[in-house]
Amino acid sequence: MLNIAWHSLRNRWLSASLAVLAVAMSVALILTVDKVRRDARTSFIQTLSGTDLIVGARSGSVQLLLYAVFRMGSATNNVSWTSIEELQARDAVDWLIPLSLGDSHRGFKVLGTSADYFTHYRYGNKNQLSLARGALFDDVFDTVIGSEVARKLDYALGQQIVVAHGTGSIGLMEHDKQPFRVSGILQPTGTPVDNTIHVSLQGIEAMHVDWQSGMKVPGADTGADTLRTMDLQPKAVTAALIGLKSRAAVFREQRAINEYRSEPLLAILPGVAMQELWSLVRVFESALLVVSSFVVLAGLVNLVSVLFAGLNERRREMAILRAAGARPANIFLLLVAESTLLSVFGIIFGMVLHTLVVGVGSVWAQSHFGLDLSPTLPTGRDLAVLLGILSAGVLAGCLPAWRAYRQSVADGLMQRM
């Protein structure tokens, strides 16, 4: 029966090819969307890796995560430098990266930090930040910019930039007396680092020497050379990233920081907060799967349409088979076999198309979004989806097969006027 079905499809290769193409595109789409969904979640969770605790002023875990990692929103309060030094001196703490936010340049956030940021900050599968060009800042007014900042603003090494007070896209109060010089440009990471302008903590302090309460002191104009000789130790920072000597101490240290008596602090586990934040956008994840499911349904409807459309042209063929001794059940199985073959070929070509799309788009996705879309073997979920599509394809063939089953020999041989 499969041999007959195969030769029948070969005789109707054009309509059969279109049905296979529709199923293949549906399979490729749902597999690709599901892989992008899973890899996007993994990439999101790994925006920050290798960090055990994020510490900031007492607020909410999602809020602290948003401004400390994603540069979104603002802190309720700062953390005093005395507290930062005490935290860094704890026996369980291996390293600490202070973060100071609150300024911007043409809509891009300015992050004040220390050299430990480039040593200990990790993203993805514990990837380290690396420079595409230039060097790390070693002067108070040096800055290292992310790849997207350099690309969108067309900045090169040696470019002078003026930082504005506040985080808006238009800086109304600029630190124009202390311009920064681009000393380095980072490699793309697909994380918020790409959209960040990094300066030293001393650079942040130098910008605000002539400022009080968010406003510039009238007549104050301290020169850059004078600022370089001043004590520019920060008085407070926005947050801190902490790495511990042993991950077994993470809950003990989290509890100790949350019960810190000198000032109200909050310590969160990045992975837990990431999961909590991702759950807020789960509805969009579900919407992608719903759209993909409808595309698969459309492909199956097209498969049924092809089989139904061919029935009227094959009435004489069916009648001859019946006259030659084929039972109605044989006709039914013939149509089901054709539907099965079309579904199998559609699934095979769909998997090939999915692999090609993922392979071609992996470099672009990595450079622009930090997504690792390298082709992988089908997961158990993928196999379950493919089995479901195959089963649906077989069932879809039952509709035209039932109609052919009910046709009589006399009806098939009768010539219509």
Q: What is the pLDDT of residues 174-233, one digit of tens each?
A: 666 778 999 999 998 888 999 999 999 998 888 877 666 656 666 667 777 777 788 888
Query: If residue 155 lies in a helix (H) or strand (E), which one and from where to where?
Result: none
Q: How many CB atoms lie within 10 A of CB 133?
A: 13
Q: How many CB atoms lie within 10 A of CB 246?
A: 10
Rounded-to-integer distance, Cα 374 and Cα 365, Å: 10
Q: Please list, residue by residue across 110-132, b when 16 or more beta carbons sit within 10 angstroms of its beta carbon and e when fewer do.
A: bbbbbeebbebbbbbeebebeee
Residues contacting residue 401 through CB under 8 Å, at least 6 positions apart: 307, 331, 332, 333, 334, 335, 336, 339
Q: What is the pLDDT of residue 146?
A: 93
What radius of gyration, in Å, describes the C-alpha atoms of the chain? Answer: 32
> What token pair was written down for 86?
């005490």
Residue 174 DSSP symbol? B
3-state secondary structure (DSSP) of residue 12: coil
Beta bridge partners of 95: 243
Query: If residue 133 lies in a helix (H) or strand (E), which one and from where to where?
Result: strand 131-134
Contact 183, 155 (CB under 8 A): no
Measured CA distances, 329 to 6, 77, 322, 335 (Å): 18, 77, 10, 10
3-state secondary structure (DSSP) of residue 213: coil
Rounded-to-integer distance, Cα 356 and Cα 157, Å: 38
Rounded-to-integer distance, Cα 129 and Cα 267, Å: 24
Q: Whose CA is closest to 304, among 399, 216, 378?
A: 399
Q: What is the pLDDT of residue 408?
A: 47
Contact 149, 188 (CB under 8 A): no
DSSP codes joined into one string, 385-398: HHHHHHHHHHHHHH
Query: Which residue ranges in the chain fall short of pLDDT 70?
Result: 1-9, 166-176, 210-220, 307-331, 365-374, 404-417
Q: What is the pLDDT of residue 159?
A: 92
Query: If residue 44 lies in a helix (H) or strand (E), which one and from where to where?
Result: helix 13-45
- Percentages helix, strand, coil for the chain (3-state, rounded to 5) are 55, 15, 30
> What token pair was written down for 11?
């005789």
pTM for the structure as a whole: 0.71
Q: Whose CA is closest to 68, among 239, 193, 197?
A: 239
Q: Which alpha helices (DSSP H) does 106-249 contain, by range? A: 116-120, 147-153, 201-207, 224-228
**Could you give the dihedral angle defined by the CA atoms of residues 246, 248, 251 and 255, in that order, rounded to the nearest 10 degrees?**
-60
Contacts from 30-34 at CB under 8 Å and sequence distance 24+?
30/289, 30/292, 30/293, 30/295, 30/296, 30/385, 30/389, 31/350, 31/351, 31/354, 31/382, 31/385, 32/354, 32/357, 32/358, 33/288, 33/289, 33/291, 33/292, 34/289, 34/292, 34/381, 34/382, 34/385
Rounded-to-integer distance, Cα 254 and Cα 267, Å: 5
